[in-house]
Amino acid sequence: MIDKSFSPSAVEQRWYQRWESAGYFKSSAQDARPPYSIQLPPPNVTGTLHMGHAFQQTLMDALIRYHRMRGFNSNWVVGTDHAGIATQIVVERQLEAEGNSRRDLGREKFVERVWQWKQQSGSTITRQMRRMGASANWEYADTEGQKAGYFTMDAKMSRAVTEVFVRLHEEGLIYRGKRLVNWDPVLGTAVSDLEVDSEEEDGKIWEICYPLEDRSGFISVATTRPETMLGDVAVAVSPKDERYSKLIGKKVRLPLTARPIPIIADDYVDPAFGTGAVKITPGHDFNDYQVWQRHKAELLDLFSIFTLDAKIINDSVAAAGPLWQDYVAARETGGKTGPVGTQPLASDLGIPNKYFGLDRFEARKQIVSDLRAENLLVSEKPYKLRVPRSGRTGAIVEPMLTFQWFVKMEGMARDGLEVVKRGEVKFFPEHWTATYNHWLENIQDWCISRQLWWGHQIPAWYDAEGNIYVARTEEEARQKAKGKALKRDPDVLDTWFSSQLVPFSSLGWPEKTPDLEKFLPSDVLVTGNDIIFFWVARMIMATRHFTGKVPFRHVYINAIVRDAEGEKMSKSKGNTIDPLDLIDGISFDKLLEKSTQGLLKGEHRERIEKYIKGHYPNGIPAFGADAVRFTFASLASFSITLNFDLGRCEGYRNFCNKLWNATRFVLMNTEDKDCGQDEKAAVKLSDWDRWIVSRLQRTEAEVAQGFDEYRFDNAAASLYKFVWDEYCDWYVEMAKNQLTDPDQAVQRGTRRTLVRVLETSLRLAHPIIPFVTEELWQKIAPLAGKKGETIMLQPYPKSQPEKIDEALEQKIAVSTAVVNAGRSLSSEAKVIHRNASFIVSGEPSTSTRAAVTTFMRNSQFVERLPATDSPVKLVDRHAVMLNIKVDPAAERERLSKEIARLEAQIAQTEGKLANESFVAKAPPKVVEEFRGRLAEFRSALGKLKEQHEKLTARA
């Protein structure tokens, strides 16, 4: 016999290992069954599992298990991502803690060090995924033999990256150019538009006076970044602005530098804003850059006033960073086309020595103060502005003029829009299509080069003249360069450049593999809305471009997991939940320790402590993976956020235990007994037996619909309701009675139904709660005449509509209603139900008779109720009387209440039916429904009134 309650931990570990070692998760292109595949959004290889992962992986695993059981060749392609910036930062911090830096180490040693870290921590997240029960194809595309799927930097995946880069370059879709890009001065790298978040912050706006060169007056400009004035090349005004029309073409003397710059007219300027005059700094502002492009004939060439770590340039900038070293070298050799091109000296630009080497914010202070001293500062006002910050470091992004590699997006974007428009790729929920479309319609070229060390190094080489050779190997580049000395581009590719290839690179591309043929496109991508641009759109474009296929047919955008109050989960709030803590449980002390360790700011500690004391005064109990999964499924509607409620998790843990105990009951009553496996043995099935089978078919249909529509909440709710409310609450109770029937055929039929329905329910629930269902199925299956090593590979229950019996369900509904009436009566009369005796009138059906015998032990059926004062409830054709002496006054009052309620309902329904337009215009079926309802109400009212009058007469 199984334990009295379900304890998940032992069961989970045991089964997962068995499943994996038995190879149940594997899949092969040779398998002739129809394919069903899902690509896992590859998590950061050195990361740990968070609630978002746990959530989407639960859904993916449920889908994979569901389809596997339905006979699909299911392939959950998994892998991990090298996560360039994120991983490099982590290792740099480690070095920092050791008093080292990556520059001290040098590139080669640093990259070695990152690999070490990857080997050391790389298995954490995949181990955690296994704890969630992920039936992923771990050995697939696993060239490193680590049973973690592919790794985006392994040899095979890297080969595809190089191939794609070279081909795009050959097609003219990748180019190198000196552009203004978003620059993270802390990391010293370019980042893409998407990696910049701008938040509104409190800042200041200054109005600065620029004197006209001819001393005839001045023009004042407004700026939020006065330090950039050193890089001004013009002042722009609106061509429509009459105030300034006379000044256009004149020159002003740029304060602090004495450099003359022209006043130009450009539509970009809004005359109504600020002073109507804008300083133009094309080297450090994207708008100004565009203005410059329109006027470049009359302006200075582009230049930078900041070093790459955002300090004011000086005349020997060699110390500032590698790109500048290249620049200096180029300048010294007289080269005009070196890696960063030409750049005037700081002194040529009139930048005073005193600013050399000042950090941009220091420079700002100094410049404002100097302007004030010179009486050129008109005003300084508080101002709210949007500050662009690097998503990774939080550093304020500096638009910086650098050489970078770009991908031309326009053509691929058009195609990406087309395939979605044609419905070849569909979003669930559908409204995400708009987000996707909007981005692609306004797409910019993608800056793919990063000045980092961890990542795929760009396959481009330069000769001394600055000619570029893009090639698959250095060998190939050398051939192209005809023996010239070459230096490889030191930059690496944006991580997303490799992730976008995953749908086909993981399947063996550029080889023409059977896998590509079989598993591309995959069936559904399950991912967060935050990476629709970063990843989803780019996968669609890249996969289309290189394979002509879409990467996946469906995109299910999962909700963002929040805490129970709907707050974003963040370490500093202390409201993050580790999915593993939900599975295993954690004590209050440990949770507190875990949440407050490694904090940077002491001030958060108090807040976190308060949060944890408030929310988890007793820590978190161990819910087990199944409960966590069921919770995720139950909350997975199409809403944009998912507020994770521990209360619900507890409820679903209870559900797992309920299932466990239902099985326990069934085992107690069926093991070593005749369960009707022998089809020839006589079997009598009651209405209740046939009813639960009918309900099961409905449930099967509902669950299938839930999965098909990605409405996991509906699938879960349906399962919950069936198992708890129908099987346990009604059928099992009825079965108890049937099992005492002297007729062996009845007993046999009951046992068979108990076992078969339970066995089917376990299979039905398996995709969502794999562990408990496996454990229980092993016990129940033999009794149902099923054999198999695992529930995982059993056929999934399919609804048989012919077994749905509508009439029977209605009949049973009357039976349950009679029982419920009895329960209400005893409860209202404060009589302990099992001691209560009832009198039931109306010819009972066999199912009602059985139900009454089971649930209302001391009952008798009569033709007419006795004329007593006892409380009565009406159900269909039945009247249920609680056979007790009762205070007639109290009973009168109770009846009056019911009468009043009925009368109100009658009035409402009558009103409706009296409405001519309702009767005329509403569908006849609806009208009939209301008429029927009214008749029922009236008949019930009549009986109640009769009862009431009897009481009144006797009073």
Partner RNA sequence: GGGUGCUUAGCUCAGCGGUAGAGCACUACCUUCACACGGUAGUGGUCACAGGUUCGAACCCUGUAGCACCCACCA
Q: Segment 900-939, which members bind RNA (CB under 7 A)?
A: 905, 915, 917-918, 921-923, 926, 929, 933
Closest CA to 45 of 114, 140, 132, 145: 114
Among 279, 360, 748, 763, binds RNA (CB under 7 A): 279
Length of the chain counted residue by residue = 955
Closest CA to 459 of 724, 727, 167: 167
- Residue 361 within binding range of RNA, rule CB under 7 A: no
Question: Which residues, 110 to 139, sit near RNA by CB under 7 A?
Answer: none
| Nearer CB in complex with RNA: 154/702 | 702
| Nearer CB in complex with RNA: 639/952 | 639
| Nearer CB in complex with RNA: 135/883 | 883
Partners of residue 350 on adjacent β-strands: none
Q: Does residue 253 come out as left (phi exceeding 0), alpha (psi in the -120 to 50 range) or beta? A: beta
CA angle 446, 448, 452 (to 5 degrees): 150
**How many other C-beta atoms lie within 10 A of the C-beta of residue 491?**
25
Question: Which residues, 652 to 691, sit near RNA by CB under 7 A?
Answer: 652-654, 656-658, 661-662, 664-665, 668
Q: What is the dihedral of CA 382, 383, 384, 388, to 10 degrees?
A: -110
Q: Please state, in angstroms and rounded to a whole number, the distance separating the CA atoms of residues 242 and 851.
A: 92
| Nearer CB in complex with RNA: 142/266 | 266
Among 44, 223, 670, 883, binds RNA (CB under 7 A): 223
Partners of residue 407 on adjacent β-strands: 174, 446
Closest CA to 307 of 328, 281, 286, 331: 328
Among 45, 219, 278, 755, binds RNA (CB under 7 A): 278
Among 45, 51, 114, 221, binds RNA (CB under 7 A): 221
Among 93, 386, 610, 897, binds RNA (CB under 7 A): 386
Partners of residue 181 on adjacent β-strands: 400
Among 188, 271, 322, 782, binds RNA (CB under 7 A): 271
Helix segments in 535-674, DSSP class H:
538-547, 579-584, 588-596, 603-615, 625-635, 646-670
What are φ and ψ of residue 174, in 5° steps? Answer: -115, 135
Among 188, 638, 705, 950, binds RNA (CB under 7 A): 638
Q: Please state, in angstroms and rounded to a whole number, the distance separating the CA atoms of residues 906 and 912.
A: 10
Closest approach of Cβ 386 to RNA, in Å?
6
Among 105, 194, 804, 813, binds RNA (CB under 7 A): 194
Question: Which residues, 140 to 179, sit near RNA by CB under 7 A?
Answer: none
Closest approach of Cβ 504 to RNA, in Å?
26
Give the binding-site size for RNA (rule: CB under 7 A).
Answer: 97
Among 645, 741, 809, 910, binds RNA (CB under 7 A): 645
| Nearer CB in complex with RNA: 317/443 | 443
Among 124, 643, 790, 837, binds RNA (CB under 7 A): 643
Q: Please state, in angstroms and rounded to a whole number, the distance separating the CA atoms of residues 652 and 635.
A: 11
Question: Which residues, 484 to 503, sit near RNA by CB under 7 A?
Answer: none
Window contacting RNA (CB under 7 A); options: 473-481, 514-522, 696-704, 713-721: 713-721
Among 296, 365, 431, 954, binds RNA (CB under 7 A): 431
Closest approach of Cβ 917 to RNA, in Å?
3
Question: Which residues, 767 to 806, sit near RNA by CB under 7 A?
Answer: none
Tokens 């300083």, located at residue: 279
Question: Which residues, 565 to 624, sit near RNA by CB under 7 A?
Answer: 565-566, 568
Window contacting RNA (CB under 7 A); options: 433-441, 498-506, 573-581, 595-603: 433-441
**How many other C-beta atoms lie within 10 A of the C-beta of residue 901?**
13
Q: Please state, in angstroms and rounded to a whole number, the distance separating the CA atoms of residues 939 and 296.
A: 91
Tokens 């507190």, located at residue: 592
Helix segments in 333-392, DSSP class H:
360-373
Tell me the three state secondary structure of residue 862: strand
Closest approach of Cβ 750 to RNA, in Å?
14
| Nearer CB in complex with RNA: 116/639 | 639
Q: Please state, in angstroms and rounded to a whole number, the distance separating the CA atoms of residues 182 and 388.
A: 9
Give the torsion sign (CA, 783, 784, 785, 788).
negative
| Nearer CB in complex with RNA: 7/17 | 7
Closest approach of Cβ 290 to RNA, in Å?
8
| Nearer CB in complex with RNA: 612/719 | 719
CA angle 198, 201, 206 (to 5 degrees): 110
Among 188, 211, 239, 274, binds RNA (CB under 7 A): 274
Among 7, 17, 316, 587, binds RNA (CB under 7 A): 7
Window contacting RNA (CB under 7 A); options: 166-174, 445-453, 488-496, 559-567: 559-567
Question: Tokens at residue 787, please?
Answer: 């054999």
Closest approach of Cβ 198 to RNA, in Å?
7
Closest CA to 721 of 755, 761, 754, 750: 761
The answer to whether 335 and 466 are in contact (CB under 8 A) is: yes
The answer to whether 48 and 124 are in contact (CB under 8 A) is: yes
Among 717, 804, 813, 913, binds RNA (CB under 7 A): 717
- Residue 193 within binding range of RNA, rule CB under 7 A: yes
Question: Tokens at residue 374, please?
Answer: 């010179």
Question: Which residues, 830 to 859, sit near RNA by CB under 7 A?
Answer: 830, 832-834
- Residue 642 within binding range of RNA, rule CB under 7 A: yes
Question: Tokens at residue 786, please?
Answer: 């099923």
Question: Which residues, 390 to 419, sit near RNA by CB under 7 A?
Answer: none
| Nearer CB in complex with RNA: 259/658 | 658
- H or E element, residue 90: helix 84-97
Q: Please state, in angstroms and rounded to a whole number, the distance separating the CA atoms of residues 358 and 208.
A: 21
- Residue 385 within binding range of RNA, rule CB under 7 A: yes
Closest approach of Cβ 573 to RNA, in Å?
12
Closest CA to 662 of 716, 725, 584, 715: 725
- Residue 761 within binding range of RNA, rule CB under 7 A: no
Among 9, 435, 572, 737, binds RNA (CB under 7 A): 435
| Nearer CB in complex with RNA: 346/734 | 734
The answer to whether 762 and 788 are in contact (CB under 8 A) is: no
Closest approach of Cβ 194 to RNA, in Å?
6
Question: Cα 30 to the chain's mean position, in Å?
Answer: 33
